[in-house]
A and B are shown apart, each in its own frame.
Chain A
């Protein structure tokens, strides 16, 4: 079945450094790739997304890149801050009937050391 692999599972960086999280998807029909940030005890929050007709998208300190040929997409966080510490999930859309459902990666625990 369809799956999304996410790496690394944990990532520790110094404040101010960059962080990169990578995902690989299996369904070539996937066309929507969101990223979620989940702080401890909170709901997942959509932080950025990208669609298959775009190769890169930026929003302030975060950016997402997509390589459709390789079925890879990545989250880049620059100038990391302690408040960026959280679990990050990538996801890819899969078509289920009339609905594009999401399948999630396994998550990356990002720790930003002050």
Chain B
């Protein structure tokens, strides 16, 4: 597996502000993904972070709300824009290795007040 880190681990933000979450991997990976996990719920894919091109968003998620960067094969950021309390959630990045196994970062717990 790979060592995956996320920053920040948690944050409390005010309504209307934006937060950028960083995901760093200790080796080059082809695929990186961003997920949201609302309290007590399953994991929902937000988007695929594509290196060198625009992210691919899932239904219900848009670039204006969740802009994503992927400047290289070891790093990606997810921004949660113009936050509302409904955005309170855990945000996780994941990477695929080897034959496609997906491994998750530790997550960022976001609370919007």
Return the CB mask of B29-44 against A: 1 if under 8 Å, else 0. Answer: 0010100000001111
Q: Which residues of B contact A45 (CB under 8 A)?
A: 104
A32-B100, A101-B33, A102-B102 known; 9 new pairs, CB 8 Å cut-off, are A1-B59, A36-B104, A44-B92, A93-B100, A99-B56, A104-B43, A106-B41, A106-B42, A107-B41
B45–A103 CB distance below 8 A: yes
Given contacts A97-B56, A103-B45, contact A44 B104 (CB under 8 A): yes
B104–A34 CB distance below 8 A: no
Residue of A34, A49, A99, A105 with most partner-chain B CB within 10 A: A99
Bound complex: CA of A101 vs CA of B92, how far in Å? 15
A44–B43 CB distance below 8 A: yes
The count of chain B contact residues (Cβ–Cβ below 8 Å) is: 19
B106–A89 CB distance below 8 A: no
Bound complex: CA of A57 vs CA of B100, how far in Å? 17
Query: Which B positions have Cβ atoms within 8 angstroms of A?
Result: 31, 33, 41-45, 48, 56, 59, 92, 100-107
B105–A101 CB distance below 8 A: no
Q: 3 smallest A-B Cβ distances: which pairs? A: A43-B104, A104-B43, A104-B42
- Which residues A57-114 have CB closer than 8 A to chain B? 89, 93, 96-97, 99-107
B102–A96 CB distance below 8 A: no
B42–A89 CB distance below 8 A: yes
The count of chain A contact residues (Cβ–Cβ below 8 Å) is: 23
- Chain A binding surface, main DSSP class: strand
B42–A101 CB distance below 8 A: no
Q: Which residues of A contact B48 (CB under 8 A)?
A: 96, 99, 101
Q: Any chain B CB within 8 A of the CB of A54?
A: no
Q: Which residues of B contact A93 (CB under 8 A)?
A: 100
Bound complex: CA of A100 vs CA of B105, how far in Å? 19
Q: Which residues of A contact B41 (CB under 8 A)?
A: 106-107
Bound complex: CA of A96 vs CA of B43, how far in Å? 17
B31–A43 CB distance below 8 A: no
B92–A43 CB distance below 8 A: yes
The chain B residue with its CB closest to the CB of A32 is B100
Q: Which residues of B contact A104 (CB under 8 A)?
A: 42-44
